[in-house]
Chains A and B, each alone.
Chain A
């Protein structure tokens, strides 16, 4: 089940890379967060780790539902462009994605004997980080860049959940707090556009 959810996490991120519509991108981000939340719930219940279950529930509420909903409302309020064609052509992106995956698996190879769990999880987390960075780079619009930043947070969470079997609760709550503050700042930054328009 863990493997399936991690695969789904990666698949949703890759799909998000090829999306050309903003709402579709938010949808894929939401699904990406949903798999992350479920993963935390699943691993948490397996390890009997209450802290991880709590952070899984918060992920589901905040990231899978709250943030996409809020971003959609912001995009409607500030009339953001909904067509977001990527700057990197699809045919090149299709080549880039497997190249990133191969590179990260190569990078994580030496640690396969050192990590207690599955070393592939570390490789997938690092490749998710690179894919999120690619998402930020391939768009010139602001909204996909924000989604790319949020996807990067998801990649960090994936690493925290799988490679370390859960970060301390204090850290996870702090990250959620910072994430909410980031959304407030994004709101304030977008408001400026409205004032100028």
Chain B
């Protein structure tokens, strides 16, 4: 029952996509709000709550991620109302976009709630395939090329994840039988896995697949190209929901890998994340448009989350995770407005908005831009403080203290490069270029307000306490 109510908004969206009336889509934001009811109920229920046997189980971690993803979903449905005011989109393409958005949402709800590696993968694959078509709804040769690109690279990434899952399953099947597919059973018996090498090989392959999907080293630019070529809500869905679902998989796999061999896990992720941030920092320095800039910054934050998580800073990772999931879609949706009618200029982008709505829009975008580079009191400021604290604790316990402190210094230098670049861009948006009159629609503004309120809610003491309890 609970599962049906969770899936209801996506199912309604799927149904509405077949109705040939332009007004039909106006009901969707209202329906999407309905998903909050079962999620609030899930927060109240005793955990772990079984939604579908051992297959879909809600615990504190996935309920939190589901809430975040649903808020992003609501924001995107609101912003979608005025997509045609900013970009050229036919009515048929619009309906198809909704149809595949619905499939994407269903797939990710399954992925986020999955306690079963197979169901996690099936949901992720369904979301990957539906994204391919969402990218293609933009009828340009670039979008078409990127849709194929996504189909191929995304499929390779997701196949690597399945390959890893099969190896993990093979490593634990002798002790757990078919239950070796369940995350909780695997975590409970991780110490008894008879072939840790096989497990670690599976974990490494699955992690590389997940990281490739999020644009980590060596595939740093592919996701930026895709987000540039597609409509801006696709980028918002990518950063707010898809990356969240991939990350929840990483959280679960790494929990098990930590029990199997903590130092291997930490070394592998630390080197991978550092390499990614090293390359991404310089790519951000050279980024010339908002989409690529935010997309690359998303990769940087995902690498930081992975790093905090394996360093034992689970609270910091979850706080950073929530802040990123709200900030990045908000920035991508704002980009749609800032770049409407194909103007990609950064200089003067924040000028020319008239009236109260315009002033609120300017204020919110400035807020999001400064929050993403962790200026206090952004939640990212606190998460980075706690995250680096956890890394220092880890360094103290390790035998390679100097090497780790050196690596952390390098990380701080790279983050400073990104910080400097964002501040320069913000100043250029505000003080340079010419003023052209631009318009912002109330539904988009409402979506941004929702994200801002959600961000504020994240740093209130009760939600901080909740995140600590999850950790």
A residues sitting closer than 8 Å to B (CB atoms) are: 107, 110-111, 114-116, 122, 126, 129, 133, 136, 142, 145, 149, 152-153, 155-156, 159-160, 163-165, 167-168, 170-171, 174-175, 177-178, 181-182, 185-186, 188-189, 192, 196
Contact = CB atoms under 8 A, between A and B. Distances in A.
A163 B170 contact: yes
A159 to B, nearest CB: 5
Contact of B169 (A116, A136, A164, A178): A164
Interface residues of A: mostly helix, strand, loop or mixed? helix
A115 B201 CA distance: 13
B144 A129 contact: no
Given A159-B166, A178-B129, 19 more contacts: A110-B197, A115-B170, A122-B170, A136-B152, A145-B152, A149-B151, A149-B152, A165-B173, A170-B119, A171-B121, A175-B162, A182-B155, A185-B129, A185-B130, A185-B132, A188-B133, A189-B133, A189-B151, A196-B141
Nearest to B158: A178
B159 A136 contact: no
Interface in B191-229: 194-195, 197-198, 201
A188 B136 contact: yes
Contacts of A126: 163
A167 B118 contact: yes
A178 B178 contact: no
A167 B166 contact: yes
Interface in B36-66: 55
A3 B338 CA distance: 61
A85 B141 CA distance: 25
A153 B121 CA distance: 13
A177 B103 CA distance: 13
Contacts of B173: 164-165
Nearest to A171: B118
B133 A185 contact: yes
B122 interface: yes
Nearest to B173: A164
Contacts of B55: 170
B148 A136 contact: no
Interface in B93-137: 116, 118-119, 121-122, 125-126, 129-130, 132-133, 136
B126 A111 contact: no
B319 interface: no
Nearest to B132: A185
User: By CB atoms of chain A within 10 A, which of B167, B170, B194 has the most?
Assistant: B170
10 contacts: A111-B198, A111-B201, A156-B159, A163-B166, A167-B169, A167-B181, A178-B125, A181-B129, A189-B148, A192-B136
A165 B166 CA distance: 11
A116 B178 CA distance: 15
A102 to B, nearest CB: 18
A189 B122 contact: no
Contact of B147 (A153, A156, A177, A189): A189
Contacts of B162: 156, 175
Given A153-B159, A156-B166, A189-B151, A181 B181 contact: no
Contacts of B147: 189
Contacts of B141: 196
B181 A129 contact: no
A162 to B, nearest CB: 9
A165 B163 CA distance: 15
Contacts of B194: 114
Nearest to A195: B139
B129 A168 contact: no
Contacts of A152: 155-156, 159
